[in-house]
Structure 1
């Protein structure tokens, strides 16, 4: 809709197409579009979503330019946009990642680029088994993006990522009542980071981690029909007895969703009694 002429009504950005989805964000006269629409004027095949853009003008909204393809080893899941940054939510090998790209994007190429060509900053995360959820990021002018980061062995962390300075700050962590003396502190220098040249972290920037008490590993197992399934296995290093401990297998495969493997204190009682917990995700 044209803000200066609301009586003209709404403009359709694209006609509805079966099984095609569009997610739009506006920035500096452009619509940035995350979509799985068939690619035009290119022989490049892409699965899932890719990033395109068009002018936010009624006569030009059908002239899309593909900005970025996800690459062979990751998929685009969602996006958010700010005055100086575009944030992309990704999955790589079934695991979540977030990255930011500086705006505005200069596009002077004929063929679509891959994500790495835009020098993205990947947000450092404490474990490759993390669950990551966006916090309230409502300020368009902000250069800070807030996430709630968690894993089966890391209680919920609230983290602010400064996309301009490419640094991050831990604001808060959920306290585990009754286990504080058993928790181990892990400095951020142990962060699993795609970013190169990660800055030295001050001593105050640390979090509580149960990985010295609880083993958490991700393996691939083959089902009865030959399909490889990612399996996350959780057990107490002290209470588990190999070959004798009882176990619980959680499975879910509907709607393209993975199981929630974020921190859950309700599991601690089972783990302390030697149980093995396994989470089977969709492949």
Structure 2
């Protein structure tokens, strides 16, 4: 017999008895813990916990469980979420003219490696409308001309936010979307928008960063996935990785290696998000892998 499964994530001031009270609550309500992870941050004095459990009481309604846990959470001043493990998060993808991250995420989605629903792909260019059609995903071309006025940018971002809201989007992924989001949109998407960039920032800004890196003789290239904030490319880091390169590699080789790293790093960050493994800890994250 299969039972409904949930994923509980929480954070609160570190104090004695948190694990005992959470596990005791779940036992009292006929729930069985499948796996659990916790972390106490001595610097922030915060405690973080992720619990994957099944509800084995056939008479326990979902709303009753949530209301009951809310009382416990309030008594311990917890920030918490209780997610249905069977529900696939809804992810909106944004891209410009470079498609390696988009291609990778779509492949993982189609092959079942990424348990999500993708209701829309948004781009300020038309390069990938046929790719979107091949996956039967609606493609929304929202152009933004070079040097567009702030009014035009806000109008375009309003349409993006409308798509997020009408499609009940849980996560927005900037899969090499080469536009800076306004502070207002960053606030609206706080904690549910992920970006990817090469890890040379701020050393190699602007166009063709891997060519700039080649000119400087770098020995490591890498990528960073992070939450989007109003501080460009400085949001809480979720995942990073590097690849070693050497003097014999041409700029095009560095670019290809770098794009592979970007794709893998972004995919990991997205997977951890949809599995509810990422908790914000101020300007940092706690990731229960």
Give the structure with the larger helix fraction.
2
User: Which structure shows the higher strand fraction?
Assistant: 1
Shared fold, TM over 0.5: no
